Amino acid sequence: AQSVTQLDSQVPVFEEAPVELRCNYSSSVSVYLFWYVQYPNQGLQLLLKYLSGSTLVKGINGFEAEFNKSQTSFHLRKPSVHISDTAEYFCAVRGTGGFKTIFGAGTRLFVKA
């Protein structure tokens, strides 16, 4: 079984500042890792994914995440945020042999002018 912990429920940040949203996971098997974004009143949209290979993955809207196997972490980063990045961000994990995706509780990113 897998589990996901998002360490921050809310992250306020000023526009053009860098941001990091933290995610830790646990699993007894190999996993795929994801970050999804949910804008108000919308469904979830895939931001980026780690399947294998390079531990630094780049996604849409300038976001990137780094897979750290020893620390079982998959933190999301963006060097300079925009007002439009205000949304809820979900870290998720799935065993490579299955279809059941486990989502974290979400981190609400609030970008201030």
Partner 1 sequence: DAGVIQSPRHEVTEMGQEVTLRCKPISGHDYLFWYRQTMMRGLELLIYFNNNVPIDDSGMPEDRFSAKMPNASFSTLKIQPSEPRDSAVYFCASSLARRTSYNEQFFGPGTRLTVL
Residue in 15, 77, 103, 110 binding partner 1, rule: CB under 8 A: 103
DSSP state of 62: G
Residue in 20, 72, 101, 110 binding partner 1, rule: CB under 8 A: 101
**What is the rounded CA–CA span in Å between residue 110 and residue 66?**
22
User: Which residues in 41-69 are b (16+ Cβ under 10 Å) and which e?
Assistant: eeebeebbbbeeeeeebebeeebbbbbee
**What is the rounded CA–CA span in Å between residue 60 and residue 48?**
7
Stretch that binds partner 1, among 21-29, 53-61, 77-85, 95-103 (CB under 8 A): 95-103
Alpha-carbon radius of gyration of the chain: 13
- Can residue 97 be called a binding residue for partner 1 (CB under 8 A)? no
Residue in 17, 46, 56, 60 binding partner 1, rule: CB under 8 A: 46
- Can residue 100 be called a binding residue for partner 1 (CB under 8 A)? yes
Stretch that binds partner 1, among 22-30, 55-63, 71-79, 99-107 (CB under 8 A): 99-107
Contacts of partner 1 in 48-87 (CB under 8 A): 49, 51
Count of residues making up the chain: 113
Binding site for partner 1 (CB under 8 A): 32, 41-46, 49, 51, 90, 99-106
